[in-house]
């Protein structure tokens, strides 16, 4: 039983052992959305996606339709799909790529037709070896099936897709860093303005960059209409969305849930979903949208899973990753590890991020390991303030990209919600959870 | 003379042909070179530079940015233990400590026999199976200290060589066709669509988006 009776839009096929094959895809309605789209005008296809109010599923949550319409002024040259999923505890795109690669390809093909681009790139995270093989196999099958390449399905429309492997760098999930990487360079984010991909993207040409999960929704939207998608959810958050539930729950997994109509409590505690906190512990805190997001406490579990609802409460739905931490979790250690991640993955272009993340990591490490001082708490906040003035949400930015202002979230949340726990580390000269 | 073996070289040339600018093939070509040699030997770097139309320094400069590209030799099996937040909550630091003692190297190190390189990894996006471990970028599921030792033994004995190819081999599936949507066809298609839209607009039958 699902929590709401919303249809499974992007995970319907995943129950089959052979969900990734062309045979299964065709037997379950595959490529009918593309065939339908090719009988429509590109504008009509784009209008359906616009009507769906599909918010981008990568993290920033920008409406996909509006992203496309920004490009109607200048003709789009390239479509680039971001499959570089690396936000900690986010594992939804990984599942979609391995489990249903044709659905992604169909979404890309429909989008390419709507945008009238003749070359699309799917940038896949390098560590997804099986995903790369599944997607390349699916692409080979799709070419042989006539769905990609010259004159697809005898429509007169031609398009090529290239599957491109990354090589291990979190920052390449940032869209301008991804474009740099796709151009064969170090993954350095570009400064915006002027380098908005819609204006100056891949090879300096107007480019649309969309997330893998965003693409996976497109075939259903074309088949069922944008209005049917928009009828699900509420407010700006329409349709269903994948939530990657991880941490101290009984059933960590990806769950496709109707937006807004479902709450964090449903996700974490419903027997058919998270199944509650593992063992006999209780909920201490949870991260609602990837490690860049400020943390929530148990008093916020009744918030709906909606972009604005979570945004107004001081955090973000981000990548759709929900990390649950139980009462036996050391919050200093959790915040330290997240900070270490940012320190390792900072590309090094901007001083506040490059230096600040390392300083923060070392101070957090010494607090966790017994070398902390009481004044370290103020020092941490002062450093956070240097990276993101005011340490507020949404954050101020002193850097080229949003990796910098994402760094303070966990430390600021930890100190705000668990100040006493930090102080116990300092006073006892070590971690009380060891 | 080509350092890349004939079949690798032809695959490299196929890859270069997929991109509007050859430099875009730089990272895929580095993966190919590592498949042949295990790491980016200087001769391969020079050849990639020639294929991509850049200097060897630019290839190295790019490669050193990425965790998966190696400018010095690494073990046959890259064992990556994730310790990021979801895995941390699932006991990853303890598993990493155990892995270090089993393999006798610290994270980042390679065993003296050159078989294993141990990495402390960032999130590998398999967070419902913690602690998450990858060997040569292939998922091996959630690991306990005991299962980890069994995994190491299986790898040493060559029992997993079918599922886990040697280090450097990223993708065993080759692209079947080159680019097909040729520029002339694209141009005439765009003109046809524009003409059709103009006709529709003139007839007033199609609502503009």
Residues 218-247 of A with CB under 8 A from B: 244-247
Q: Indicate whether B54 and B97 sit together in one domain.
A: no
Domain boundary at B39, B63, B87, which?
A: B63
Domain that holds residue B140: 77-156
Q: What share of chain B is helix, strand, coil (3-state, %, to 5)?
A: 45, 10, 45
Q: Indicate whether B57 and B102 sit together in one domain.
A: no
Provide, as residue numbers in chain A, all residues whose Cβ is less than 8 Å from the Cβ of B160. none
Q: Is residue B96 part of a domain?
A: yes
pLDDT band at A147 (very low <50, low <70, confident <90, very high): very high
User: Is the per-residue pLDDT at A175 higher than 50?
Assistant: yes
Interchain CB contact of A153 with B (< 8 Å): no
How many other β-carbons are positioned within 10 Å of the β-carbon of residue A3? 16
- How far, in Å, CA of A270 to CA of A201, rounded? 43
CATH class of A233-326: alpha beta
Provide, as residue numbers in chain A, all residues whose Cβ is less than 8 Å from the Cβ of B196. 41
Q: Indicate whether B86 and B137 sit together in one domain.
A: yes
Interchain CB contact of A94 with B (< 8 Å): yes
Gap from B143 CA to chain A (nearest CA, Å)? 15
pLDDT of residue A75: 83
DSSP string, A287-349: ESSSTTSPPB-GGGTTSBS-HHHHHHTTS--TTSEEEEEETT--HHHHHHHHHHHHHHH--SS
Taking only the tens place, the pLDDT of each residue in B20-71 is 999 999 999 999 999 999 999 999 999 999 999 999 999 999 999 999 999 9
Interchain CB contact of A253 with B (< 8 Å): yes
Q: Is residue B52 part of a domain?
A: yes
- How far, in Å, CA of A48 to CA of A192, rounded? 29
Q: Please tell me the total count of domains within chain B.
A: 3
pLDDT band at A52 (very low <50, low <70, confident <90, very high): very high
Q: Indicate whether B52 and B82 sit together in one domain.
A: no
Q: Is residue B173 part of a domain?
A: no
Answer yes or no: do A186 and B52 touch at CB < 8 A.
no
What is the enclosing helix (H) or strand (E) of A161?
strand A160-165
Instruction: Verify cis geometry, omega within 30 degrees of 0, for the bond prior to B35.
Output: no
Interchain CB contact of A140 with B (< 8 Å): yes
Domain boundary at B63, B87, B103, which?
A: B63
Q: Indicate whether B144 and B91 sit together in one domain.
A: yes
Q: Is residue B69 part of a domain?
A: no
**What backbone torsions phi and psi does residue A190 show, to the nearest 5 degrees?**
-90, 155
CATH code where residue B31 lies: 1.10.10.1590
- Name the superfamily (CATH) of residues A22-230: NADH-ubiquinone oxidoreductase 51kDa subunit (3.40.50.11540)
CATH 1.20.1440.230, chain A: domain bounds: 331-428
CATH 3.10.20.600, chain A: domain bounds: 233-326
Q: Is residue B163 part of a domain?
A: no
Provide, as residue numbers in chain A, all residues whose Cβ is less than 8 Å from the Cβ of B19. 162
Taking only the tens place, the pLDDT of each residue in A183-233 is 999 999 999 999 999 999 999 999 999 999 999 999 999 999 999 999 999
Q: Is residue B113 part of a domain?
A: yes
Architecture of the CATH domain A331-428: Up-down Bundle (1.20)
Instruction: Verify cis geometry, omega within 30 degrees of 0, for the bond prior to A110.
Output: no
């Amino acid at each position: 039983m699902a929590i709401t009776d919303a249809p499974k839009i992007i995970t319907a096929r995943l129950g089959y052992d052979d969900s990734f094959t062309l045979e299964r895809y065709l037997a379950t309605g595959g490529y009918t959305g593309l065939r339908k789209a090719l009988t429509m005008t590109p504008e009509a296809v784009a209008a359906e996606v616009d009507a769906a109010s599909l918010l981008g599923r990568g993290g920033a949550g920008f409406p996909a339709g509006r992203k496309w319409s920004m490009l109607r002024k200048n003709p789009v040259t390239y479509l680039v799909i971001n499959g570089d999923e690396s936000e900690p505890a986010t594992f939804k795109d990984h599942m979609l790529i391995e489990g249903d690669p044709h659905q992604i390809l169909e979404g890309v093909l429909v989008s390419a037709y709507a945008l009238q681009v003749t070359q699309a790139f799917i940038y896949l995270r390098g560590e997804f070896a099986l995903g790369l093989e599944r997607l390349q196999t699916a692409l080979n099958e799709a070419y042989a099936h006539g769905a990609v390449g010259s004159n697809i399905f005898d429509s007169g429309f031609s398009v090529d897709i290239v599957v491109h492997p990354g090589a291990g760098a979190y920052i390449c999930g940032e869209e301008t860093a991804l474009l740099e990487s796709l151009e064969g360079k170090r993954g350095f984010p570009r400064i915006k303005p002027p380098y908005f991909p819609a204006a100056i993207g891949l090879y300096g040409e107007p480019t649309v960059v969309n997330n893998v999960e965003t693409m996976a929704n497109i075939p259903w939207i074309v088949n069922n209409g944008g209005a049917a998608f928009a009828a699900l959810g509420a407010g700006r958050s329409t349709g269903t969305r994948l939530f990657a539930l991880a941490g101290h729950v009984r059933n960590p997994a990806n769950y496709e849930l109707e937006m807004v109509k479902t709450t964090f409590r449903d996700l974490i505690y419903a027997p058919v979903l998270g199944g509650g906190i593992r063992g006999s512990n209780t909920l201490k805190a949870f991260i609602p949208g990837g490690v860049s997001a400020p943390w929530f406490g148990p008093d916020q579990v009744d918030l709906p899973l909606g972009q604005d609802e979570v945004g107004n409460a001081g955090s973000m739905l981000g990548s759709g990753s929900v990390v649950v931490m139980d009462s036996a979790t050391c919050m200093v250690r959790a915040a330290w590890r997240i900070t270490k991640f940012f320190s390792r993955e900072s590309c090094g272009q901007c001083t506040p991020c490059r230096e600040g993340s390392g300083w923060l990591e070392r101070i957090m490490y010494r607090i966790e390991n017994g070398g902390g001082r009481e004044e370290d708490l103020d020092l941490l906040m002062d450093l956070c303030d240097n990276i993101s003035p005011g340490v507020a949400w949404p954050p101020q930015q002193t850097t080229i990209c949003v990796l910098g202002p994402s760094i303070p979230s966990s430390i600021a949340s930890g100190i705000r919600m668990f100040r006493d726990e930090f102080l116990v580390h300092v006073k006892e000269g070590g971690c009380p959870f060891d | 003379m080509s350092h890349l073996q004939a079949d690798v070289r032809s695959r490299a040339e196929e890859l270069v042909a997929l991109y509007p600018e050859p430099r875009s093939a730089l990272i895929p070509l580095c993966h190919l070179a590592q498949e042949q040699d295990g790491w980016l030997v200087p001769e391969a770097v020079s050849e990639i530079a020639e294929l991509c139309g850049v200097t060897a320094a630019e290839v190295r400069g790019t490669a050193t940015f990425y965790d998966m590209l190696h400018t010095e030799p690494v073990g046959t099996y890259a064992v990556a233990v994730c310790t990021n937040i979801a895995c941390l909550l699932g006991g990853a630091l303890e598993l990493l400590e155990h892995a270090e003692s089993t393999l006798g190297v610290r994270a980042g190190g390679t065993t003296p026999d050159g078989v294993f390189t141990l990495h402390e990894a960032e999130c590998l996006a398999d967070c419902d199976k913690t602690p998450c471990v990858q060997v040569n970028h292939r998922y091996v599921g959630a690991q306990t200290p005991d299962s980890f030792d069994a995994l190491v033994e299986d790898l040493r004995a060559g029992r997993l060589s079918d599922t886990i190819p040697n280090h450097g081999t990223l993708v065993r599936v080759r692209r079947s066709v080159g680019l097909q949507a040729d520029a002339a066809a694209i141009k005439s298609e765009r003109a046809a669509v524009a003409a059709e839209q103009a006709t529709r607009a003139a007839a007033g039958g199609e609502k503009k988006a």
